[in-house]
Structure 1
Amino acid sequence: MTHSDNTSPALDTTVTHVPDRHRYELGVSGQPVGFTAYRDNDGRRIFFHTEIDDAFSGHGLSSILIRHALDDVRRSGLRIAAVCPLVAAYLKKHDDFEDITDPVTSEILEFIRSSTQ
């Protein structure tokens, strides 16, 4: 999935799902500037880490990236678990994903620990 977003008129952003790397990548004008990483387990896409290049902070890019990733999860029929603090904060502000969001349990944390080492 690649998506262009013109919500920020100064920045030409794209979000691309890269399943073999378990992440969604954010580009600005064709250059990679960030990603949100996940692992799938038991019908859930568990987001555990998000990064945006410091040079691009303050432009709302993490919100653009996370919104497109969560929209893709909804389309795929999976549920969401947010170990990543940025994704968790996004979900608290945007309750339109509440119906597909699961709480983070000790089992989810252990799965992330074991699958990302």
Structure 2
Amino acid sequence: MTEQRTDRTGAPVSVDLRRTGAVGAYTVSVDDGTLAGRADFVDTPRATDERVFFHTEVDAEFGGRGLAGLLVREALADSIRRNLTVVPVCPLFARHLERHGDEYRAEGGRFRRPRPADLALVEETVRNAGDA
């Protein structure tokens, strides 16, 4: 999945889905290919239709261009296309769904509140990915 978009300045950016192990990410790159940010997630093993978003970060050099919001919106749109339930551990995802949850559901999206098991899954997955 690669989506071509523009940021708040009108500059072209691309959003990609990267799966290189247990932790996946939607990434945003600027026109010259420089990685500007990422929204990290893990898929739950017990429910293959759930995706836990746990961290979103944009490099300070690219701040103010709306890239974090772009990452969230693209990740959520892709979750709808993949028929996934979103579990927003990341405060940015949680805030977005708190404000726009009704609209997201109207577009066919599903989400639920995180549970302690989701937090434990993220901690274990990130720890194991760091050991690899």
TM-score by length of 1: 0.91
Unaligned runs of 5+ in 2: 128-132
Q: Does 1:97 align with 2:104?
A: yes
**Corresponding residue for 1:23?**
25
Larger Rg: 2
Q: How does 1:3-82 map to 2 (within 5 A)?
A: 3-6=3-6, 8-21=8-21, 22-29=24-31, 30-41=33-44, 42=47, 43-82=49-88
Runs of 4+ in 1 over 4 A off after TM superposition: none
Task: Indicate the larger mover: 88-97 or 37-46.
Answer: 88-97
Deviation string, structure 1 residues 33-57 (Cα, Å, up to 9, x no partner) = 0000000011210001111010111
The Cα shift of 1:7 comes to 5.2
The Cα shift of 1:8 comes to 2.9
- Identical-residue share of aligned pairs (%): 29
The Cα shift of 1:10 comes to 3.1
Distance in structure 2 (CA, Å) of the matches to 1:48 and 1:67: 15
Q: Residue 26 of structure 1 aligns to which amino acid in structure 2?
A: V
Deviation string, structure 1 residues 54-83 (Cα, Å, up to 9, x no partner) = 011111110111100111111011100011
Distance in structure 2 (CA, Å) of the matches to 1:68 and 1:92: 17
Distance in structure 2 (CA, Å) of the matches to 1:28 and 1:94: 26
Q: Does 1:109 align with 2:119?
A: yes
Q: How many residues align?
A: 117
